[in-house]
Amino acid sequence: MKPAPFDYAAPATRQEVLEALAVAPDGTRVLAGGQSLVLEMNQRAARPHRLVDINNVADFDRLEVDRAEQDGGWLRVGALVRHRAFEQPVESGPLGRLLARTAHFIAHPPVRSRGTLLGSLAYAHPTGEWPTLAVTLGAELVLASADGTRTLDAESFLIGPFTTALRPGELLEEARFPLLRPTTGTAFVELRRTAASFAHLSAATALSVEDGIVVDVRLGMAGIAPQPVRARDAEHRLVGRPPTDSVIAEAATVAAAGVTDPPPDPHSGSAYRRHAATVLAERALVKARQDISEEVERP
Amino acid sequence: MRISLTVNGEKFRLEVEPRRTLADALREDCGLTGTHLGCEHGVCGACTVQVDDSAVRSCLMFAVQCDGHTVRTVEGLAAPDGTPHPLQSAFTAEHALQCGFCTPGFLMLAAAALDEDPAITDDPDRLRELLTSNLCRCTGYESIRRAVRRAADMPGPPD
Amino acid sequence: MAEPGTPGGSVTRVEDGPLVSGHGCFVADLRVPGCTEAAFVRSDTAHGRLRAVDLGVSRQVPGVLGAWSAGDLEEIPLVPVLMDPDVDGGRPWPALAVDRVRYSGEPVAVVVAEDRYLAEDGRDAARVTLDPLPAVLDPQVAARDEVLLYPGRSNVAVETTLGDPIDAGVWERAAVVVEARYRYPLLCHTSMEARAILVRPDTGGGITVWCSHQAPHRLRGDLADALGLEADKVRVVVPDVGGAFGGKSETWPEYLAVALAALRLDRPVRWVEDRKEALTAGPRGRGQSQWVRLASDAGGHLLALEMQTDAAVGGYPHTGSFLPEVTGRMAAGTYAIPQVCVRARAVVTTTPPLCPYRGAGRPEAAYAVECTVDLMARRLGMDPAQLRRLNFVRPEAFPFDTPTGFRYDSGDYAAALDLALRTVGYADWRSEQARRRAHGGTPLGLGICTYVERSGAGGEYGALEAHADGSFTATSGCCSTGQGHATTFAQVVASELGVDRRRVRLIEADTAVVPDGVGSFASRSMQSGGEALLRAARDLVSEARERAAARTGVRVDTASFERGAVRANGSTFTLAELAADRPLRSEARAEPPQAFPFGAYVAVVEVDPELGTVHVVRLVAVDDYGTVVNPLVVRGQTYGSIAQGLGQALYEADVHDEEGVPRAVSLLDYLLPTLSEMPEVAMDETCTPNPNTLLGAKGAGEAGCIGTPPAVVNAVADALRIDPTVLAIPLTPRVCWEAGR
């Protein structure tokens, strides 16, 4: 299990990275944390002709909260921010807590100290934790190339298993997660077989309740479709109603109804997956509701 | 490509292909075969070493990425005078190894964690999460967990 | 020093020093000048006619030194059979595929280069042309002979019938008859170091072979036969071994190909199996499909057990064909069932080669028997512990001849079960279970497995020499793959001689130094190898007493031995003194019969009824290995085998698609337990010494693989209040959810 030969460049600036990517963009891959890419290269499932290593670019490890904008602001994550950075809350609000909860589901500490959040989005594993969260929260992704930049929302970026909207020559430069209003409870739940396996299914949610009524909710699911999806129908069932057990159960059933063409797995069929998705969606929502009472309403 | 890296305090200047993994550079070019390759896809952790004090999978890094960096392997765990690291003594005391193939990876994983925060052994969940990083097929892990706890209670590393 | 009842005591291991400091030496760590590396071109098809292998481009790859397929060799060596020389029945296994491939991953060509990177470049440049044939994965399907792996020959390679046919009236007279089907999936050994070999041609036409192996003397003989060399031209050295578990006691086709390449290149060639090879093309274990029928009277006395088991032995019936028979011989389990009859078949399938995997036939038997006994308990409305107790072979009945032809040496099965039930707190858990069933709560289940297994096979060589400096050299034909022989064999010798164990040095695993040996598998090392060293120690003492008697001019029976010294006629001679003039050494062979360790496992589980996930709350293991030399080491192996047993019960399976292509190509798909999957484990032992040896040891180290899976499956069934036969291992969330609906 040794990689096939490739050329290697390790530019020191953003501009040099984009220029390097523009040269023979087909067959060139970006090397950030490498925890998925090198794995595939060792298996020779990936055979890039050239790697552009971005680890020497100082600015790419930026992790900033930008509260200046409208809509509550954004958390901006650079291309070299490692999973590990999120193990402790990176901001004091619900988003920081949700990212921290989610980070602990990712692989294990040594992989988390190398692997990056943006790399995980670009890898686009169908049940990857960060892709699931990015879809759930409506993260915006900034793609840069020598020709300029463009911004896509996560759902437009993740178009299939291990497939994204990245074009040859493009770098996924930044992810922007919307900050969550303080009244939001969050949860991330997974079904996996062992601590060393990928998730079969996961559910992520951010639930805002004011005066006993759901004012905003995000519910994302992975493992029920070829890529993580937002359960919008379920969200609609929740908004404007009190988050009672029965309302949550109803929403969870709706969320799982979207099981279509799940990613293949020899150990779980679609009937089980649909059922388990309902359970996970329900548990995520219940946990988020509990999170409100424990974290948001803490005196 | 020409690179230089510092391994266990010694400077190595190497000529390597870009595709050479850090693990192979350590084993084949530096002659440090204590770092083992058990899966070459980042799961088993037998190849765990410390790069700039962080425990990483040396099968998932290229040697060229370590140009100018500092690497510590199991051969660099004991004190220069040969005094064993507390983890090394504790692994023997707790019978935390049988075939010994996974042992260097567990040692480097635990050593990095104890260096960073010795209190990790006071938190059962954090310790479990840490030691879930690597695979062992012989021990069933409990003796490894006991060994790391024992090492944390021993006098500090000789360096 | 020694704990009561143990000749050695829980001392820490002498072999750990190099292993914790990075100075161990596994095959991949060897620095042999001029060494090259091999990679294999493998079939990507499970079954097919091999049309062409084009290595032209491979040979042009820079750094590639040579590449060979069967067509490039005048004569292709055949893989030797493991046990019964007639087992292949005219189904030869060439080192490289000749005209047909019979499993996905079968070696088709070997490419040798200056390093592994280049060898893989050469491998990828090879072009293999195959005409696919239908895959046959299930042994029961294969046994129908609709798709033949060997035209003109049945897929059933071996068929064995054990026990007398069961009187048909039994099934009619019985109060309850249950039937069940089981499928034990194919498993991967997954030692952390996969297979590895290095072959160096020596001047004079011989070869030196370093191999990660369990049986160096057999490997030497096999390589010599296959390559047409005299046995003394082949030296096999086994350096540190990164776990074996049964997958390294064979002579695999890759080894022959590497040796051929080394001889042709006249350079050392090494092959280190990588994880992808190990998971897709490497040895497999288990893989049985079983049918069991069990009859009982109304009072719970078992009357008859009938079993049919078919093993998927892979494309070549060489290494695993004896396993279904082992399963069949264990079909009576711990019970005195008057009539037992088994049909055991080894069936070729288009899957990688089957071979022993930790437990080797016994886990398959325990699973079928113990789940069926639980099924019977449900039908009878009896507590499963009570049904077992009622039917155990009684302590006074040993030696006990089973209807399947085994002679159980000794045991007290009820004592082990009672200790296990006390340790787990059986009554309290049953109360908690009743409380939850009445008032709600996560479903809780208890599962029991009482097992008996077989350990040891054949004799073993041991030798001992006392040196004038007060040290000792012990030589054994065994071969440690992580078990700690250097520590425990030294303990056996030291405790017999009354000397400091640190003065006893062990030599094994080198055919140039150890004249004879069988190796380490079937839990035989302490039972046979330890016994041989104990006998050698006693012979050494006899010789020492004779020398001392002769020196002092007294009769030998007046010379006494104690704590490393002989007292004769008022003088004391240490063994070192008696070895000063001429070598003081002894040799022994131990030929103990097979032994039958036993025990009882109890699992307590919770099952999430909504998701089907299983949480093993507690696992109690009570094992009886006879005399235990080093409890620390033995418990370490028990614990590790429990982890593997949990893997079997809950996570591990070699899954293929319909075309026979493996689906689990990495450790992200073939799932091993991590620390986070481990339950709270409690271990205890009873001790019924081996009556057929001086040492009293029976085999240890495989029990957890045997006892854990049925205990967990029975516990999950109990939690879900279903028949255990509705479940199938591995107990994935989906399996448990579907079973519990």
Q: How many CA atoms lie within 13 A of C391 on its CB side?
A: 34
The residue-averaged pLDDT of C713-723 equals 97
CB proximity A56 to B under 8 Å: no
Give chains near C: 3+ CB pairs under 8 A.
Answer: A, B
CB proximity C589 to A under 8 Å: no
For residue C296, what pLDDT is reported?
98
The residue-averaged pLDDT of C716-726 equals 96
Do C45 and C104 contact (CB within 8 A), yes or no? yes
- Reported as a pLDDT band with limits 50, 70 and 90, residue B90 is very high
Closest approach of chain C CAs to the CA of B55, in angstroms?
16
- Chain B positions touching A116 (Cβ under 8 A) are none
DSSP H helical ranges for chain A: 14-22, 37-42, 94-103, 109-114, 117-123, 129-137, 154-157, 232-238, 245-256, 270-291
Tell me whether residues C21 and B77 touch, CB distance under 8 A: yes
Tell me whether residues A195 and C677 touch, CB distance under 8 A: yes
Domain ranges of chain A: 7-53, 58-178, 188-291
**Structure-token match 């360096």, residue found:** B159
Q: Is the pLDDT of residue C558 over 60?
A: yes
Burial class of residue C609 in the structure, from the number of CB atoms within 10 Å of its CB (0-12 exposed, 13-18 middle, 19+ buried) = middle
Closest approach of chain B CAs to the CA of C549, in angstroms?
43
- Reported as a pLDDT band with limits 50, 70 and 90, residue C158 is very high
- Reported as a pLDDT band with limits 50, 70 and 90, residue B156 is low
Q: Is the pLDDT of residue C285 over 80?
A: yes
Summarised one tens digit per residue, pLDDT across range B16-36 is 999 999 999 999 999 999 999
For residue C268, what pLDDT is reported?
98
**Structure-token match 């949610």, residue found:** A205
For A272, the 3-state DSSP assignment is helix
- Chain B positions touching C275 (Cβ under 8 A) are 38-41, 44
Here the tokens at position C308 are 């049919």
Tell me whether residues C117 and A2 touch, CB distance under 8 A: yes
For residue C3, what pLDDT is reported?
44
Do C21 and C106 contact (CB within 8 A), yes or no? no
Q: Where in chain C is the domain with CATH 3.30.365.10?
A: 16-23+458-590, 284-455+594-740
**Number of alpha helices (DSSP H) and beta strands (DSSP E) in chain A:** 10, 14
Superfamily for the B2-76 domain: Beta-grasp domain (3.10.20.30)
The residue-averaged pLDDT of C365-378 equals 98
Here the tokens at position A75 are 């958390």
Closest approach of chain B CAs to the CA of A79, in angstroms?
17
Tell me whether residues A1 and C733 touch, CB distance under 8 A: no
For residue A70, what pLDDT is reported?
64
Summarised one tens digit per residue, pLDDT across range A120-129 is 999 999 999 9
Q: Is the pLDDT of residue B50 over 80?
A: yes
Q: Cα separation of A129 and A163, whole Å?
A: 16
The proportion of chain C whose per-residue pLDDT surpasses 70, expressed as a percent, equals: 99
CA-based nearest residue in chain A for residue C39: A1
For residue C1, what pLDDT is reported?
37
Mean pLDDT of chain C: 96
Q: Report DSSP state, residue C594.
A: P
The residue-averaged pLDDT of C582-604 equals 97
Give chains near A: 3+ CB pairs under 8 A.
Answer: B, C
- Reported as a pLDDT band with limits 50, 70 and 90, residue A268 is confident
Q: Is the pLDDT of residue C551 over 80?
A: yes
Tell me whether residues B19 and A3 touch, CB distance under 8 A: yes
For B56, the 3-state DSSP assignment is strand
The residue-averaged pLDDT of A55-64 equals 96
The third-level CATH classification (topology) of the domain covering A7-53 is 3.30.43
For residue C6, what pLDDT is reported?
61
Q: Is the pLDDT of residue C647 over 80?
A: yes
Tell me whether residues C22 and B145 touch, CB distance under 8 A: no
CA-based nearest residue in chain A for residue B37: A1
Do C601 and C679 contact (CB within 8 A), yes or no? no
Here the tokens at position C725 are 């036969």
Q: Cα separation of A246 and A227, whole Å?
A: 28
Length of chain B: 159
Summarised one tens digit per residue, pLDDT across range A126-140 is 999 999 999 999 999
- Reported as a pLDDT band with limits 50, 70 and 90, residue A298 is low
CA-based nearest residue in chain C for residue A277: C611
Here the tokens at position C702 are 């495989």
DSSP track, A97-161: HHHHHHHTTSS-HHHHHH-BHHHHHHHT-TT-HHHHHHHHHT-EEEEEETTEEEEEEHHHHEEET
Tell me whether residues B62 and A104 touch, CB distance under 8 A: no
Beta strands at A50-53 and A7-9: parallel, antiparallel or unpaired? parallel
* CATH 3.30.2320.50 applies to domain A58-178: no
Q: Is the pLDDT of residue C82 over 90?
A: no
Summarised one tens digit per residue, pLDDT across range A68-106 is 766 689 999 999 999 999 999 999 999 999 999 999 999
Give which of C180, C391, C169 is closest to C300, Cα–Cα. C391
Domain ranges of chain B: 2-76, 86-153
For residue C4, what pLDDT is reported?
43
The residue-averaged pLDDT of C45-62 equals 98
DSSP track, C396-455: GG-SEE-TTS-EE----HHHHHHHHHHHHTHHHHHHHHHHHHHH--S-EEEEEEEEE--B
Tell me whether residues A4 and C611 touch, CB distance under 8 A: no
Q: Where in chain C is the domain with CATH 3.90.1170.50?
A: 32-133+192-244+248-280
Closest approach of chain A CAs to the CA of C676, in angstroms?
6
Per residue, the 3-state secondary structure of C205-235, as one string, reads CCEEEEECCCCHHHHHHHHHHHHCCCHHHEE
Closest approach of chain C CAs to the CA of B35, in angstroms?
7
Single-letter amino acid, residue C395: P
Query: CATH number of the domain at C32-133+192-244+248-280, please?
Result: 3.90.1170.50
CB proximity C677 to A under 8 Å: yes
Summarised one tens digit per residue, pLDDT across range B52-72 is 999 999 999 999 999 999 999
- Chain C positions touching B92 (Cβ under 8 A) are 12-13, 16-17, 20
ipTM above 0.95, yes or no: yes
- Reported as a pLDDT band with limits 50, 70 and 90, residue A299 is low
A29, A53, A114: best to mutate for the B interface, most B CBs within 10 A: A114
Summarised one tens digit per residue, pLDDT across range C416-440 is 999 999 999 999 999 999 999 999 9
For C345, the 3-state DSSP assignment is strand
Tell me whether residues A195 and B132 touch, CB distance under 8 A: yes
**Structure-token match 């104890």, residue found:** B114
For residue C319, what pLDDT is reported?
87
- Chain A positions touching C673 (Cβ under 8 A) are 194
CA-based nearest residue in chain A for residue C665: A43
SS3 content of chain A, % helix, strand, coil (to 5): 35, 25, 40
- Reported as a pLDDT band with limits 50, 70 and 90, residue A260 is confident
For B147, the 3-state DSSP assignment is helix
Query: CATH number of the domain at C16-23+458-590, please?
Result: 3.30.365.10
Q: Is the pLDDT of residue C635 over 90?
A: yes
Do A17 and A171 contact (CB within 8 A), yes or no? yes
- Chain B positions touching A41 (Cβ under 8 A) are 19
Length of chain A: 299
CB proximity A274 to C under 8 Å: no
**Sheet with C176-188: strands ordered across:** C156-162, C339-347, C302-312, C284-296, C176-188
Single-letter amino acid, residue B143: S
- Reported as a pLDDT band with limits 50, 70 and 90, residue B96 is very high
For residue C262, what pLDDT is reported?
98
The residue-averaged pLDDT of A41-69 equals 94
Q: Which helix (H) or strand (E) holds C457?
A: none
Q: Cα separation of A75 and A90, whole Å?
A: 9
B vs C: CB pairs below 8 A: 165
The residue-averaged pLDDT of B75-102 equals 97
Domains A58-178 and A188-291 share a fold: no
Q: Cα separation of C6 and C574, whole Å?
A: 25
Superfamily for the B86-153 domain: [2Fe-2S]-binding domain (1.10.150.120)
Cα dihedral A236, A239, A241, A247 sign: positive
CA-based nearest residue in chain A for residue C668: A197
Query: How many other C-beta atoms are found inside a 10 Å radius of the C-beta of residue C241?
Result: 27
Closest approach of chain B CAs to the CA of A8, in angstroms?
6
Q: What are the angstrom distances between the C-alpha of C672 and each of A86, A252, B140, C42, C643?
A: 27, 32, 11, 25, 9
**Structure-token match 């086709």, residue found:** C253
C270, C732, C736, C741: best to mutate for the A interface, most A CBs within 10 A: C732
Q: Is the pLDDT of residue C123 over 90?
A: yes
For residue C2, what pLDDT is reported?
40
- Chain B positions touching A107 (Cβ under 8 A) are 42
Q: What are the angstrom distances between the C-alpha of C198 and each of C29, C233, C298?
A: 11, 16, 62
List A residues 186-245 in contact with C (Cβ-Cβ < 8 A): 191, 193-198, 200
* CATH 3.80.10.10 applies to domain A188-291: no
Summarised one tens digit per residue, pLDDT across range C184-237 is 999 999 999 999 999 999 999 999 999 999 999 999 999 999 999 999 999 999
A vs B: CB pairs below 8 A: 87
φ/ψ of residue B156, rounded to 5: -55, 165
Cα dihedral A253, A259, A264, A270 sign: positive
Looking at domain C284-455+594-740, its CATH class is alpha beta
Closest approach of chain B CAs to the CA of C187, in angstroms?
14
Reported pTM: 0.97
Q: Cα separation of B42 and B49, whole Å?
A: 12
Q: b/e per residue, C144-163, with b = 16+ CB within 10 A? A: eeeeebbeeebbbbbebebb
Tell me whether residues B57 and A195 touch, CB distance under 8 A: no
For residue A295, what pLDDT is reported?
76
Instruction: Give the distance from CA C606 to its chain's centroid.
Output: 30
First to last CA, chain B: 33
Single-letter amino acid, residue A36: S
- Chain B positions touching C193 (Cβ under 8 A) are 36, 38, 99, 101
**Structure-token match 């430069």, residue found:** A173
Q: Report DSSP state, residue C239.
A: -
